[in-house]
Amino acid sequence: MSSGPAGVLTSATLRNSPNQDARPQGAVIDLLVIHNISLPPGEFGGPWIDDLFMNRLDPDAHPYFATIASHKVSTHLLIRRDGELLQYVPLHLRAWHAGVSCHEGRERCNDFSIGIELEGDDHTPYTEEQYAALATVTKEIIAMYPDINPERITGHSNIAPGRKTDPGPAFDWELFQQLLAANL
């Protein structure tokens, strides 16, 4: 895996979400945030995640969508259940994934973090393919951004406690750390 033009991973399918902007001048990218997403909640597959990040989610396609269709959100990367890697925002730019957030006293985590969404929910086990893809892409991100290391990887729930629960109890942090440690 390698990066192509301006922070785009060559192994990822680029979608180019409109929900991105420049990071603040002098921002150091030093945090990786792991999320989960399923649309509708608890369902996998389909175009809905892509539609949300591309601002084209049909509010009438599902009752839940009416509550989120107007949200302007994105992520840097999405890992589907089969391990497919999609990229919505170049890594050097700011994706709108963390919302109101704080890590070690620093607010606005979007300014200094990279967000990775796993297609899943808090209670459904993630797939082997997702863990393998996550470990691989995390190793590449660490190589590109040396201020990120295994201790600078966190869940959305840790930077937005009480507001967010992902990646949830179904995420096996120990397995992920083992896969990450191999060949790091």
Which residues are known to be catalytic? 117
Cα separation of 107 and 111, whole Å?
9
Cα separation of 7 and 125, whole Å?
30
Q: Please spell the DSSP secondary structure of 43-78, one letter per residue.
A: ---SSHHHHHHTT---TTSSTTHHHHTT-----SEE
Cα separation of 177 and 2, whole Å?
21
Strands (E), the chain: 13-14, 20-21, 31-37, 77-79, 85-87, 94-95, 102-103, 106-107, 113-119, 153-155
AA letter at 73: V
Is 103 in contact with 159 (CB distance < 8 Å)?
A: yes
